[in-house]
Amino acid sequence: MKKLKLILLFLTIAITITPIVIEVLLYRDNLLDLIIPPEIANIINNQSNNSNEKGINGNNLLNPEFELPKPVGDPQYNPETKTVSYTFNFTNPLQTPLEIDELQAGLVSHNDGFFLGNITINKPLKLDPGQTVDITALGILSDDAINYLKSQSATQNSINLDFVNLNVDLSGIQLQLDKQNIGNIPIPPQILT
């Protein structure tokens, strides 16, 4: 009886694990194909194959028309509310409408990890295909963050920043990134007064 139990146990393990091992071996050169369904890859790629950056199924990892939001002007700081705002311009490159219902992130210095505050968008956004909108990010700075920016402004007029714990609700899809560099952002001159 014990032998039969052992044989059945090994058979169960073999039936469960063998297909998983075979799939991993088949996709060993490109595990993204195993994880990301082709439908999602086609949305991301916009069913296009004309970029040099190859990713999922040999296609473009990102739609070649997709561009990160571009800054519009300089950040603004209101000393009465300790609120900083920065406007970005974004164009929807997809053939479907997008809704940005929520965007939240921490803001830290890229060089030393100093936490400056949390940011969010001022209102939900709806973008039709090809539509361009301005997105205003708002954040409240602590006294320590203001003093940090003042000390940094003695040697530089901009600061390299990262988003941390970036959470975006995009048309009902929750996106989360642990860390994303957003580049050099000018230090608002209103902070220095």
pLDDT(52) > 60: no
**120 Cβ contact partners less than 8 Å away, ≥ 6 residues apart:** 102, 103, 104, 105, 137, 138, 139
Q: Are 169 and 101 in contact (CB under 8 A)?
A: yes
- Angle at Cα 164 formed by Cα 76 and Cα 45, nearest 5°? 95
Cα end-to-end distance, the chain, whole Å: 85
Q: Which residues pair with 18 in a beta bridge?
A: none
- Angle at Cα 191 formed by Cα 185 and Cα 192, nearest 5°? 105
pLDDT(56) > 80: no
Residue-wise pLDDT for 136-179, tens only, equals 889 988 889 989 988 888 888 888 988 899 888 887 888 888 88
Q: What domains can be seen in the chain, in order of their start residue?
A: 2-58 (no CATH), 70-192 (2.60.40)
Mean pLDDT over each residue of the chain, to the nearest integer: 80
Confidence band (pLDDT; 50, 70, 90) for 120? very high
Confidence band (pLDDT; 50, 70, 90) for 39? low
Which pTM does this prediction carry? 0.61
